[in-house]
Amino acid sequence: MLRHLRVTNFAILSDVEIQLGHGMNVLTGETGAGKSLIVEAVNLLRGGRASADIPRHGAEEAVVEAIVDVPEDLRARVATVLEGAGLPTNDGDAGEVFIRRVIQRGGRSRTYVNGALTTAARLAELGALLIDLSGQHQHQGLVDPSRHLEIIDAFGASESGDTHVSVMLEAWAELRRCSDELAALGGDEREREARVDYLRFQLEELDGAALKSGEDTSLELERVRLASVDLLQSAARGAEEILYGGDDSARDRVAAAAREVERGLKTDPSLEPISRQLTEIETLIDDAADQLRTYADKLEGDPERLSLLDERIALIRRLTRKHGCTLDQLLARSTDLRTELDSLTGRDARLADLNAARTRAETAAVSAAASLTSLRKKAARKLEKEVGAALTELGMGSARLTVVIEPRPLGPTGADRVELMLASNKGEDTRPLTKVASGGELSRIMLALKLSLRRADEVATYVFDEVDTGIGGATAQVVASQIRAVASLETGRQVLCVTHLPQIAAYADHHFHVEKSEVAGRTETHVRRLTGGARKDELARMLGGHATSKAKAHAAELLAEASRSAAQSAAPASRKSARA
């Protein structure tokens, strides 16, 4: 439920805080006091569009903040929406959500959920679960034909606990999978044969090349060596001559140095380490000279091998250029080509298997759709009956709600198109809800629908903005009773209602008075909670304009009647709970 609401610099709402409670919350006050502004602020919390002139004169931005307690049965879905949007939960628990909208002058806004920046579109997805708003000019959700099938399914499931919708989704997913695989496997036969020929040609060429990973690098090294035999042989023999074979070689010089040190060693034993080093150098020079001699002796020109290397390297380069990849990537492509060829050549057997699987999936989907249609028709008749009874109580006994279920092509939601239609008066044709002209009529129709759907409609808080237009007397008390029923403890839902009728306000669990006044030459709105005598005085004012003794007595009667009605409604629910 909407537990805490704070609105700052929002038109005449300079700084308004409201602590709302469970059940039915009512806002009353004079016309223009700011009640509808509070509703507009709540609408922003569910992702509504922000008006450019919202910020209070002199302020650069308006802020709307709320803490929402999420009912137990909605927490899993709320958590899914939060996780899908990358938004945090409070310690991993979706039981509480903090929402903040900042509207700058000019209409730009920033949106925060649980402290994280997000978009208004993401907030709208979350707000659809948390708040439903109904007024004379906006009845979100229920008048939208695209939601009517979902509403009927939810109503049917709430009555029977059925899982036909999920069964239909699974059947459709399997049918689509089989159809997609068949489409991928199908196509023109000539195109398939051409593809097979192409794949075979490519594979024959690659298999004939017998390529090996890293082969291009090793071949290049070998080719460079073979092409440079004369240079390498000359270098090796020249180095061996300098080290060992020539006159005044490095070996001879080191030997001479060793002899000189040997003479000095007879006088100074400390020259012993140097003497050993010179001996080791002589040995190293001998080894290096031997290796250079052996290397030069083994070097031989091999024009035939060089020609073969050139051809092999040219082949590898041609194939990698042709396929636009490296040698290792070409080897991987060869594996992919072989897999595709195997798939195409085994097509007939696979085609037969897929056709059989698709037939089974289509049979299952058609069966699931038929079950859904049957359930929807049953739910439709029950909803028509319940809404009809509610409309009769609301003074619209001649109005008739009809749930139209028409066939449509099979899809993930079955094979039905569903739309709620209404005939406002006896003898009139049914019309779509969006075309019901009277705002007051539509408000009562929405109330009747929500009363019937309160166990199926997954919304935490319902907001009714002046749904009492055009009614009064006994009908007003019925409306009040039904609004309170929407927010019953049985459903765990909350209602926030703006009203001008004392008959409705008397049924509130929590009554708030909205009034405006001048402070330092500026108009400001204040909201205070009414209890006891203050509440009776407000009802008396609503009844007669002034809190006269007669009006107060009438107000007391309204409160007593509302209390009796609430007790009578609670008794069956208590017995039901006890039996459960």
> For residue 195, what pLDDT is reported?
82
Decide if 500 contacts 466 (C-beta within 8 A).
yes
SS3 category, 510? strand
> For residue 577, what pLDDT is reported?
46
Q: Which residue, among 422, 390, 382, has the nearest Cα to 486 in the 3D structure? A: 390
> For residue 453, what pLDDT is reported?
75
Cα distance between residue 576 and residue 564, in whole Å: 19
Q: Can you list the positions of beta strands (E) in 424-487?
A: 431-432, 461-465
Across 360-370, b (16+ Cβ under 10 Å) vs e yields ebbebbeebbe
The radius of gyration of the chain's CA atoms, rounded to the nearest angstrom, is: 44
pLDDT tens for the chain, 580 residues: list them: 899 999 999 999 999 999 999 899 999 999 889 998 999 999 999 888 877 788 998 888 999 999 999 888 788 888 888 988 899 987 666 789 999 999 988 778 899 999 999 998 999 889 888 888 775 545 555 677 888 898 888 888 766 556 788 899 999 999 999 998 888 776 666 777 788 888 899 999 998 989 899 898 898 887 888 888 888 888 888 898 888 888 888 988 899 898 989 889 888 889 999 999 999 999 999 999 899 888 888 887 778 888 888 888 899 999 999 988 999 999 998 998 988 888 777 777 778 888 999 999 999 999 999 999 999 999 999 999 988 888 888 778 888 889 999 999 999 999 999 998 888 788 788 888 777 655 566 667 777 887 777 666 667 888 888 677 767 777 788 888 888 888 765 666 789 999 989 999 999 999 999 999 988 888 899 999 999 999 999 999 998 878 788 999 999 999 999 888 877 766 555 444 444 4
Beta-carbon count within 10 A of 545 CB:
9
> For residue 367, what pLDDT is reported?
95
Q: What is the DSSP string of 177-195?
A: HHHHHHHHH-S-HHHHHHH
Decide if 61 contacts 9 (C-beta within 8 A).
yes
> For residue 492, what pLDDT is reported?
67
Decide if 159 contacts 379 (C-beta within 8 A).
yes
Decide if 310 contacts 223 (C-beta within 8 A).
yes
> For residue 137, what pLDDT is reported?
47
> For residue 189, what pLDDT is reported?
67
SS3 category, 288? helix
Decide if 507 contacts 565 (C-beta within 8 A).
yes
DSSP 25: E
Q: What is the DSSP string of 520-535?
A: TTEEEEEEEEE-HHHH
Q: How many residues does the chain have?
A: 580
> For residue 480, what pLDDT is reported?
86
Q: How far is CA 222 from CA 209, 295, 296, 495, in A?
A: 19, 15, 16, 85
> For residue 514, what pLDDT is reported?
95
Q: How far is CA 82 from CA 66, 77, 334, in A?
A: 16, 9, 45
Q: Which residue, among 139, 141, 9, 125, has the nearest Cα to 65 in the 3D structure? A: 9
Cα distance between residue 91 and residue 79, in whole Å: 12
Cα distance between residue 370 and residue 271, in whole Å: 107
Tokens of 453: 């759907």
Decide if 489 contacts 508 (C-beta within 8 A).
no
> For residue 185, what pLDDT is reported?
72
> For residue 571, what pLDDT is reported?
57
Beta-carbon count within 10 A of 65 CB:
18
> For residue 438, what pLDDT is reported?
56
What own/partner pairs with CB < 8 Å and gap ≥ 24 does 143-151 have?
Answer: 143/433, 143/434, 143/442, 143/446, 145/419, 145/420, 145/432, 145/434, 148/403, 148/418, 148/419, 148/420, 149/376, 149/413, 149/416, 149/417, 149/418, 151/418, 151/420, 151/453, 151/456, 151/457
